[in-house]
Structure 1
């Protein structure tokens, strides 16, 4: 009954002074079809706000007429959920832009503060009395400013910063899209083989919600379920499956699993090539066919460039690891210095080696001197002369 409440509220708000005219069942069906047509067109031209309003009214009308799990609600549910997901993605982009602007503003403020500090430092010195007076005036002016009161008033009134509003809207849109896709899944599952392509699309959109929430393992699981549904179908859905392989590759790359990611991206390129070849086999290519070929060629080139970047990064890391292993297994020997000077060399990268030659030690005290033959000729000190006995 959620959509019924929403549509009734919108009608009451827009027609407060006008009497509510009850439409017949046939008129409600016609209105729902017209709204669905307008919502589909606005979705294609990326007017997601208008598309969401119109598709929500479609869901409310069909729910009122047939119930929330009627067959007529399958496609409106699916398109409404896709619109909500697109709205959430746009809101997240707005948040990213605001964050970048805030960072740039902070950097600019820091530069201005540094410049002011430099200019103040280079200016004339003030007396201690003047600086104290200025400090006193500044403190009194700060006490007089009602900044804290204004902040408290805004909080009491319930006002929320625009960034918080956007974040809440994005989360609400994703939550509502999830609930809507669950209803669509139940409808398509009941409809059998003919509804399997729609069921695969529902599963893909569930994966997109998980991807937006950075729940990568769950997103990959939902994408793989969608692939399995497409494989069981007799017709080929190359473009849809190529997109799924691309998104699976992104989940791997975001988890630093480069090999698995590159394989999925290459699979997407192969499917795109096959789709282009099938279109070119037509005898008379329409303008739409040529535009499709051009779009797919551009997408394929972007994917190929991404795969090449992954491979180059991987090869670079392999070379770095190989060089590190070579240095570890085959270390460069340190060169010694030849004291004699022959064939000596110096390696500035090696450790410092002392080139000073050690001086020989003094060993003269260990040599025994030979006693001279004529001891009389050698003068001796009185202390060492022998004593002569007196008769």
Structure 2
């Protein structure tokens, strides 16, 4: 698939937007991001506002391109987060190992300092030098953190929030794009691990779509599928099953509508939709199996916790009874010993 050539000298926002859309369709997300970024800057400067109505569509495609670019670079959902954590852990381990090696190695041919030498007060000028080095190191870390904050997902979130404001101001005409913006915001939250926010945004977008499309909408089917994935990731199994079932129903309705239309051009779409059905059915089956597995584990856990308590209680009761019997035996034994020690009370032969 050929990449889209972007003219760096082009200052026409309309042309840049068109090139960006083409690049997005061709999955050349890096070029798309560059085109939409430049187009948005030019339009904002032209109109003197970053929430001008003309920026709505540009922001929406800009956010979608950034999301896809982030997915492309980070991998599937979840892998990016785990990868970052592992990389940070590995980096810390490497830094600790390198620090240990540097301490054990001689510096400029000199042997490492002993504890006695470390206890000696620093020479004049050394303290100031260390403070300066410490300050520059902290400034460097702050700079690195600032750079790390500017991720593709964060920029996508910011531009989509602007798009959300623009489409909300459009009223009824902006509902379709507003719904799509909310769903993409939900996908960004899902990628970032904020599952509750993802579910809220996707649900809000889905409710708007239901007012715009019929019960055979492929768009709604796709949204229900995404929402099902968000629910399953958040551990809401019943809600996930319901969402996947809704996606299945909308696709079945779409297939039925296409068959009634009896157009030759519909055959390819029908075949494509039929290919999606097994995947959704598999998701539903997986969720049901997971639900059964969780229920079985909970039942087994309750039984395991109940059994030791019953045995322990019985054992304690039994032990108490033994102690009581032992107490009685001891009393009897003391009485017998008292009788033997007092011969006057013994019966005469």
Query: What is the aligned counterpart of 1:181 among 144, 150, 164?
Result: 164
Highest CA radius of gyration, 1 or 2? Answer: 1
1:241 paired to 2:223: no
Contact persistence 1:43–1:51 (CA under 8 A): yes
- For residue 227 of structure 1, what is the aligned residue in structure 2? 206
Aligned residue for 2:212, secondary structure, equals coil
- Equivalent position to 1:79, from 39, 61, 75: 61
The 5-angstrom pairing of residues 189-338 of structure 1 reads 189-191=171-173, 196-209=175-188, 211=190, 217-236=196-215, 238-249=217-228, 252=231, 257-272=236-251, 290=271, 293-294=274-275, 297-298=278-279, 300-302=281-283, 304-321=285-302, 324=305, 333-334=314-315
| CA deviation string 1:55-76 (max 9, x = no partner) | 2344456664899655x65533
**Alignment of structure 1 residues 1-391 onto 2, 5 Å:** 31-59=12-40, 64=46, 69-70=52-53, 73-87=55-69, 96-106=82-92, 134-136=114-116, 149-153=132-136, 155=138, 160-161=143-144, 164-169=146-151, 170-187=153-170, 189-191=171-173, 196-209=175-188, 211=190, 217-236=196-215, 238-249=217-228, 252=231, 257-272=236-251, 290=271, 293-294=274-275, 297-298=278-279, 300-302=281-283, 304-321=285-302, 324=305, 333-334=314-315, 361-362=336-337, 363-364=339-340, 365=343, 366-370=345-349
| Counterparts in 2 of 1:321 and 1:180: CA distance versus 1, 3 Å | same
Deviation per CA, 1:144-197, whole angstroms, max 9, x where unpaired?
A: 797764443355579722x5413233434422321123213333x353xxx643
Q: Aligned equivalents of 1:335 and 1:155: distance in 2?
A: 62
- When normalised by structure 1's length, the TM-score is 0.57
Does the CA-based 8 Å contact 1:266-1:307 persist in structure 2? no
Q: Is the 8 A contact 1:200 1:227 kept in 2?
A: yes
Is 1:178–1:209's contact at 8 Å kept on the other side of the alignment? no
Q: Determine the C-alpha separation between the residues in 2 that align with 1:33 and 1:322.
A: 68
- How many corresponding residue pairs? 311
Q: Distance in 2 between matches of 1:46 and 1:150?
A: 46
In the alignment, the residues of structure 2 paired with residue 32 and residue 113 of structure 1 have an alpha-carbon distance, to the nearest angstrom, of 51
Instruction: Pick which of 150-159 and 100-109 moved more.
Output: 150-159
User: What is the aligned-residue RMSD (CA, Å)?
Assistant: 5.2
The 1:95/1:155 distance shift into structure 2, 3 A limit, reads farther
